[in-house]
Chains A and B, each alone.
Chain A
């Protein structure tokens, strides 16, 4: 048994199967950054930091005539989203029910996915995660609600990346407002804006509910690297008379090697 304590939960195999399947489906639905950046792992729950290959001098000497330096590391951050399911509902799975009320699983999966994406795109200072948007040296391209003009905005942003020596293909992660507007809009002549953006980028247009505005990211690889200790897993906290309390958990670090390989498109 590992630290997730799943074996201690009063949950049948049939119910676990439904819970895991719903969490897996929901996480894949909401996660966006993993579609755009390099991924290393899973390296295990005990994995605690990513070496940066750099040192900093330690001014205080450990002994006469000996210099000291400390290795720089990125700490692994743990995200945990708790949720509860009623014991009555879980018991139905043993009777063959395939339609358990798993709205709490969906909600926790959404929260966990958005926490990961928000940290990667917009940063999470408390966890030592510099986000793609705050780290980009490029001035944000301003966007509005005239979605027919998005091809011009995206072309301008791609040109800025190219000028900065960042090769494509590129992909764009769009917040809900932008994504909905773009998918509903056609240009003069009826050509879908969505398809026009894909042609300009040479890569995908991704729905990214944690993104404010939109972010264009080079897909050449090597620029943004996510390291996962424990990938998303469901663990058991406790059970009381009515509910079983569970959580979705992961541990990760995020490293930016080339801040200029992304550009933000921000609303006015």
Chain B
């Protein structure tokens, strides 16, 4: 899709964005996120996969590991940036090697569906000092889609701590998701790493197929239900005192 930048009323706008020049007005959202997740709806819930596959770099080449994954994706209330509206899943995936307790990999973030832009955005943070933001254009009823991020991008980029950046620099990231007919879903993710002393980049690839073990818990707004007419006062702890 061609993107043409233009400046209108002081706001940079691209031909591909659906937001217009009013960057403040928020659209109404569906309180029940599970109804509005588009292609992410089949991913909502708690999942397990016992046949994960991981090819990662070691000193003398690469190593293949099998892993067991517990992947939880729970709906959050719709989120807005002015006119931009997201429906999302907050996720946490925890991975161990078979029969082990110690964490092999841990990862948190959000899967976000933006209906107006027909876009899925994915955030990833791992407790080894690395974050990224990946995205891709996806049809609302897609059963298969791919998201990407690249080092150096100002929008869908990758950031690593100084050691990782020097020793295992991730230059690109890709995750391919497939929703299977049997109710499972699969992913293949690939991080391309530049490693000192190696002439060609290393392709770190993880794959797994996940089976549902529990249904998602509706987001807070949905739990209120359509009949709820409270005034929504709630906690005032974050509101400042008054003079």
**From A35, A37, A39, contact of B241 by CB (8 A):** A35
B230 at the interface (CB under 8 A from A): yes
Cα–Cα, bound, A204→B232 (Å): 23
CB within 8 Å for A194 and B233 given contacts A1-B227, A2-B227: no
Q: Out of B234, B240, B242, which one reaches A231, CB within 8 Å?
A: B234
- A232 near B233 with CB under 8 A, answer yes
User: Considering the chains assembled together, what is the distance between the CA atoms of A4 and B234 in angstroms?
Assistant: 18
**Restricting to A24-77, which residues have a CB under 8 Å from any CB of B?**
24, 27-28, 31, 34-39, 41-42
B224 partner residues in chain A, CB cutoff 8 A: 42
Tell whether, in the assembled complex, residue B242 and residue A31 are in contact, meaning their CB atoms are under 8 Å apart: no
* Distance to closest chain B CB from A18 (angstroms): 13
Is B231's CB within 8 Å of the partner chain A? yes
Task: Determine whether the beta carbon of A204 is less than 8 Å from that of B229.
Answer: no
Q: Are B236 and A232 in contact (CB under 8 A)?
A: no
Indicate if the CB atoms of A28 and B233 lie closer than 8 Å. yes
Q: How large is the interface on B (under 10, 10 to 19, 20 to 34, 35 or more residues)?
A: 10 to 19
Q: A205-B241, A206-B241 are in contact. Are A42 and B236 (CB under 8 A)?
A: no
Contact indicator B243/A194 (Cβ below 8 Å): yes
Evaluate contact between A24 and B241: CB separation under 8 angstroms: no
Contact at A183–B229, with CB atoms within 8 Å? no
CB pair A35 B236 closer than 8 Å: yes
Whether A42 contacts B231 in the complex (CB less than 8 A), given A207-B241, A207-B242, comes out as no
Q: Is the CB of B230 within 8 A of A232?
A: yes
Asked if A234 CB lies within 8 Å of chain B CBs, one says yes
A214 within 8 A of B: no
A168 → chain B closest CB, angstroms: 15
**Residues in B whose Cβ lies below 8 Å from that of A28:** 233, 236, 239
State A194–B240 Cα separation when bound (angstroms): 14
Complex CA gap A38/B230 in Å reads 19
The reply on B12 being an interface residue by CB < 8 A is no
B239 close to A35 (CB less than 8 A): yes
Q: Which of B228, B231, B242, B243 contacts A24 (CB 8 A)?
A: B231
Does B237 have its Cβ within 8 Å of any Cβ on chain A? yes
Q: How far is the CA of A4 from the CA of B230 in the complex (A)?
A: 10
A24-B227 Cα distance, complex, nearest whole Å: 18
Which of B234, B236, B239, B241 has the most CB atoms of chain A within a 10 A radius of its CB? B241
Is B235 interfacial (CB-CB < 8 Å)? yes
A6 within 8 A of B: yes
A35 to B242, CA, bound (A): 11
Would you give the 0/1 interface string for A216-248, flagging 1 where the beta carbon is closer than 8 Å to chain B? 000000000000001111100000000000000
9 contacts between A and B (CB under 8 A): A23-B231, A31-B233, A38-B237, A39-B237, A42-B230, A204-B240, A230-B230, A233-B230, A234-B231
Q: Apart from A20-B231, A34-B235, what are 11 other A-B pairs with CB-CB below 8 Å?
A: A2-B228, A2-B229, A27-B231, A28-B239, A34-B236, A38-B235, A39-B234, A42-B234, A207-B242, A231-B232, A231-B234
